Amino acid sequence: MSERLRIAVQKKGRLADDSFTMLKTCGLNFSVRGDGLLARVKNLPIDLLLVRDDDIPNFVASGASDFGLVGENVFAEEVLSAKQLNLKVLRRLGFSRCNLCLAADEGGLIQTLNDLKNKKIATSYPGILTAYLKKNNIVADCVEMKGAVELAPRIHIADAICDLVSSGATLEANGLVAFDTVLESEAVLIGSNRELGAEKQEIFERLLSRIDGVIRSKDSKYIMLNAPRAQIDAISKILPGSDAPTIIPLATDDNLVAMQAVCTENVFWETLEALKDNGARSILVLPIEKMMA
């Protein structure tokens, strides 16, 4: 029987939809329905293990799953508090971005990291917070809470909190202000030091090269424009994150060329204006659906 690669993914929650979308963009054909714990990928020997995000690092560490997609915050906490040292981040995936921040009452006595000395800090991330305080030579008490951390100062359980922030609305609604960032987090692909068999390794490498293509194509654009021949160098320097544009002579005009390039960084309106100021005309910016090195 051929071996199937197993990837642990959050079943429901903030990571789930983007994880499914990324895997589907990689060409995996599957459907997630009902209460099932496994989703079988129909066109590749891969199974998705659908679980709570907190269980993902553990499943990968124990071998119940070969890889996992999880928030870096959950990964780092597991490594630091449960000492799962055989785990590693293989790729940063660019979605579910958030910051693990220290925050305290707006206008209160705690406004900097140093103000935390000998204070109580509520958090669901005691491992990450303890390591951060130690690195910064701050002695303080961590009060572990599984949820509703933002309420801790109001009910006098703690003087400050260390919690995830994305829009900042939760902090604001509770009269809190972030004053330091402990960790910048995004979804990551994690694996372990365990050897995969040859078959699984081959499937994984195929998947990884597709994931790399998805990551690169996300911010990449294809730019096409016409430019005066004399401006080729100036225009090439403005094209963001592209090394060698393709230059094509125009049959109708000796002084003009068509230039085409893959830009691996964001193309802003300001970039287009700078191109135009340097003589570029008929500028087109196109999305890239797939890339493979």
Q: Given the rule CB under 6 A, which residues bind ligand PRT?
A: 10, 13-15, 52-54, 71, 73-74, 96, 98, 163-170, 185
220 binds, among ligand PRT, Zn ion, none (CB under 5 to 8 A by kind): none
Q: Residue from 18, 54, 212, 219 that binds Zn ion (CB under 5 A)?
A: 54
Shortest distance, position 174 Cβ to ligand PRT, whole Å: 10
DSSP one-letter string for 93-107: -S-S-EEEEEEEETT
Alpha-carbon distance of 133 to 80, in angstroms, equals: 13
CA atoms within 13 A on the CB side of 110: 25
Alpha-carbon distance of 116 to 161, in angstroms, equals: 10
Q: Residue from 53, 77, 78, 159 that binds Zn ion (CB under 5 A)?
A: 53
74 binds, among ligand PRT, Zn ion, none (CB under 5 to 8 A by kind): ligand PRT
164 binds, among Zn ion, ligand PRT, none (CB under 5 to 8 A by kind): ligand PRT
Q: Write the CB contacts of 121 (distance below 8 Å, at least 6 apart in sequence).
A: 102, 129, 140, 141, 142, 143, 158, 159, 160, 161, 162
Shortest distance, position 115 Cβ to ligand PRT, whole Å: 22
**SS3 assignment, position 183:** strand
**SS3 assignment, position 152:** coil
Of 49-57, 98-106, 215-223, 275-283, the window that binds Zn ion (rule: CB under 5 A) is 49-57
Nearer to ligand PRT, 169 or 251 (CB): 169
In the complex, the residues that contact Zn ion under the rule CB under 5 A are 53-54
